[in-house]
Amino acid sequence: MKPVTVITGGSRGIGAATARRLATAGHHVAFSYRRDRTAAAAVLADIEAAGVRGVAVPADTRHPGQVAALFDAAADLGPLTGLVNNAGVTSPIGPFVDLDPADLRDVVDINLVGYVLCAQQAARRMGDGAAIVNVSSAAATLGSPGEYVHYAAVKAATDTLTTGLAKELAPRGIRVNAVAPGIIRTDIHALSGQPDRPDRAAARIPLGRPGEPDEVAGAIAWLLGPDATYTTGTVLRVAGGL
């Protein structure tokens, strides 16, 4: 039987790269998106072209009912074996004192509450051998001063969620890990007001360049796969040395 994996935020960036990679590796894939229907349709077409089944669900991970609908749609593909908690946002880059409370709430609601709601659905439905990967950030340990300290703090919470859930779900044979990307070339930087951030940051990245979404997708695929069966509760840094 093929693995069945839910990916949140699969229409662009790291989530889309992960959807395509997992489909190529033989996973049926159910993914959510919020707004970009055209991008979601393109990813779905690539999943199906890989010879597996896919479903794209417009589901905002902030809302428990929409999260449940995403997992119900995935259930049509078979028993759930994987979750990639990926849907995330930053805020306009800037000093901490200028942070708008509405942006703060968005970051907490999507990057933390959404991850918890999805992990809860997954934990209720998964069995022995299943795995969850939370997409964290190198920001969790770097702190993102002058950019988005609140986002970094929420990503640190993602790491703690990973530690606790890994221990709670281990007796049921469910593994829980995180990846912590550094600066990856996706639309998230334009959405935070600095589309050129990956290129400007290159000089301070030890490997001398930003990462590509597929380089993170590879780490996620490994954590979900059969070579990682003794790996749980870890945060795998994919950050070019940052």
CB of 171 to ligand NAP, least distance (A): 28
Binding of residue 148 to ligand NAP (CB under 6 A) = no
240 is an interface residue for ligand NAP by CB under 6 A: no
Residue 151 is a catalytic residue? yes
Query: Exposed/middle/buried for 206, CB within 10 Å: 0-12, 13-18, 19+?
Result: exposed
State the minimum distance, in angstroms, from the CB of residue 72 to ligand NAP: 16
Residue span binding ligand NAP (CB under 6 A) among the ranges 81-89, 121-129, 141-149, 218-226: 81-89
- Report the residue from 5, 81, 91, 137 that binds ligand NAP according to the rule CB under 6 A: 137
Residue 223 within binding range of ligand NAP, rule CB under 6 A? no
Residue 181 binds to ligand NAP (criterion: CB under 6 A): yes
**Contact pick of 15, 54, 82, 240 for ligand NAP (by CB under 6 A):** 15
Task: For residue 177, state whether it binds ligand NAP (rule: CB under 6 A).
Answer: no
- Residue 162 binding ligand NAP, by CB under 6 A: no
Our CB check for ligand NAP shows the closer of 28 and 34 to be 34
- Cα separation values, 87 from 145, 173, 237, Å: 23, 25, 18
Q: Does 242 interact with ligand NAP (rule: CB under 6 A)?
A: no
Choice from 26, 35, 145, 193 touching ligand NAP (CB under 6 A): 35
- Beta-carbon neighbour count of residue 190 at 10 Å? 11
Choice between 9 and 54, CB closer to ligand NAP: 9
The residue count for binding ligand NAP (CB under 6 A) is 31
CB atoms within 10 A of CB 199: 13
Indicate which single residue of 52, 56, 83, 87 sits in contact with ligand NAP (rule: CB under 6 A).
87
Which of 146, 232, 63, 31 lies closest to 224, judged by CA?
A: 232
Catalytic residue numbers, as ranges = 151
Residues near ligand NAP (CB under 6 A) are: 8-15, 32-36, 60-62, 86-89, 110, 114, 135, 137, 181, 183-184, 186-188, 191
